Amino acid sequence: MKLLPLFLRKPIEAVYERRLAATLVGLPRPQHVGIMVDGNRRWARKAGHTDVREGYRAGGAKVTTFLGWCTAAGIEHVTLFMLSDDNLGRPAEELGPLIEVIEETVRDITAEGRDWEVRAIGSLDMLPGTSARVLKEATAATTGRGGLKVDVAVGYGGRREIVDAVKSAFEEHIAAGGDPAELVARFGIDDISRHLYSPVADHTDFIIRTSGEQRLSGFLLWQSAYAEMYWVDCYWPAFRHVDFLRALRSYANRERRFGK
């Protein structure tokens, strides 16, 4: 079928988008959304760019737009998977530009006037140079803002987070004069949940991954025990508002049974 000309396609898509948004009124919404912003380099190559940094830049710009959609949709908490701990092993000439874009993105979403409370989570001290300090200082300025809570996962690995949570639980117990054997005897799910990187992230309702890949890649392994998954074929920079609304429609139409 021949595609409609752009001047006709855009108004038709706008009408469809409004109608789709109207069908979501009153339906269940996820409170915590995890988003895997995947496909930036592939988008750049497909778009004809010889420098994959163009994909990183386009992906970084989409983050701000996406958070605006989430705010309008009444979502309370978003976790953005921007860099895994495995990615830290990439060559410096590839990792450096990506981290620069992440820093720019975090500066943007934490800027004065934004009604978002942002945290950087992950193995920040493993980041090169001054990146950890840059991210910590930028996000510290948003403490107490209220509004949408945003976790930016950088140098993040779900297995590492669980290990760190267990260590943190024991360190806290021992520092308070407790016997490690006593903690072992009563250690439970809550002991890990309380020591995750983000104190509001002990469960996740909905995880979206762009680029067509259908795996978690270590993202929110503890929190995603009963999360609904949604895979999108488009690359992250090409992710549209209508794609987001379709994802919310899919979530609303699911029966969540939590293992029962």
Residue of 87, 164, 191, 243 marked catalytic: 87
Does the annotation count 179 as an active-site position? no
Distance CA 127, CA 124 (A): 5
- Look-up of token digits 């989409």: 62
Structure tokens at 229: 């998954």
Torsion, Cα 219 225 226 229, to 10 degrees, reads 30
Contact 35, 66 (CB under 8 A): yes
Contact 250, 23 (CB under 8 A): no
Does the annotation count 87 as an active-site position? yes
Which stretches of 74-179 are DSSP H helices? 92-109, 131-140, 158-175
- Look-up of token digits 């620069």: 100
Three-state DSSP state, 54? helix
Structure tokens at 139: 């996000």
Contact 42, 211 (CB under 8 A): yes
Cβ burial of 217 (10 Å; 0-12, 13-18, 19+) is: middle
Nearest of 117, 119, 83 to residue 98 by alpha carbon:
83
Partner residues linked to 151 by β-bridges: 79, 119
Active-site annotation, residues: 38, 87
